[in-house]
Structure 1
Amino acid sequence: MWLPLVSSLLTGMLIGLDRELQGKPAGLRTHTLVCFAATLLTLAAAHQAQWAVNLIPGTQVVSDPTRMAHGILTGIGFLGAGVIFREGSSVHGLTTAASLWIAAALGVVYGVGMFGVALVGTVATLVVLIALRLLYAVLPRSSGLRLTITVNEGAGLDAGAVRRLLRSHGLRDQPLSQAFDSRSRTIQFTTSTYSRNTIDCDRLAEALRAHPAVVSYTMLLIEDTGATAMPERDG
Structure 2
Amino acid sequence: MEIELLLRLFAGLAAGVALGWQRTLRHKSAGIRTFGLVGLGTATAACLFSETLHPDAASRVVQGVLTGIGFLGAGLIVRRSDDFIPHGLTTAAAVWVTGALGCAAGLGQWAIVAAATLMAFALLTLDHSLERWVQHRHPGDEGSAGEGDVK
TM score, norm. by length of structure 1: 0.52
- Please point out which of 57, 60, 64 is paired with 2:57: 64
Match of 1:139 among 118, 129, 133: 133
Deviation at 1:9, TM superposition (A): 1.3
> How many percent of aligned residue pairs carry the same amino acid?
33
* Gap runs ≥5 in structure 2: none
Q: Is the 8 A contact 1:46 1:63 kept in 2?
A: no
Superposition map of 1:81-160 within 5 A: 81-87=74-80, 88-130=83-125, 132-133=126-127, 136=130, 139=133
**One-letter identity of the residue aligned with 1:116:** A
Give the secondary structure class of the aligned counterpart of 1:85: coil
Matched residue SS, 2:127: helix
- How far is 1:85 from its partner? 0.7
Is 1:21 paired with 2:15? no
In structure 1, list runs of 5 or more residues that go unmatched.
50-60, 143-171, 175-192, 194-223, 225-235
Structure of higher CA gyration radius: 1
The residue aligned with 1:152 is none
Task: Supply the AA of the counterpart residue of 1:46.
Answer: S
Secondary structure in 1 matching 2:79: strand
More strand by share: 1
Distance in 2 separating the partners of 1:134 and 1:85:
18
Distance in 1 separating the partners of 2:41 and 2:27: 23
C-alpha deviation, 1:6, in angstroms: 1.1
Number of corresponding residues: 135
Contact 1:17 1:28 in 2 (8 A): yes
Q: Distance in 1 between matches of 2:118 and 2:29?
A: 23
The TM-score normalised by the length of structure 2 is 0.79
User: Higher RCO, 1 or 2 (CA under 8 Å, sep at least 6)?
Assistant: 2
For 2:72, what is the secondary structure of its paired residue?
helix
Deviation of 1:10 after TM superposition, in Å, equals 1.3
Contact 1:48/1:63 (8 A) holds in 2? no
CA deviation after TM superposition for structure 1 residue 108, in Å: 0.5
Runs (4 or more) in structure 1 with deviation over 3 Å come to none
CA deviations 1:41-74 (Å, max 9, x no partner) are 000012345xxxxxxxxxxx67621000001000
Which amino acid in structure 1 is aligned with residue 104 of structure 2? V
Aligned alpha-carbon RMSD (Å): 2.7
Q: Is the 8 A contact 1:42 1:112 kept in 2?
A: yes
SS at match of 2:29: coil
Do the aligned residues in 1 keep the contact of 2:15 with 2:113 (CA within 8 Å)? Answer: no
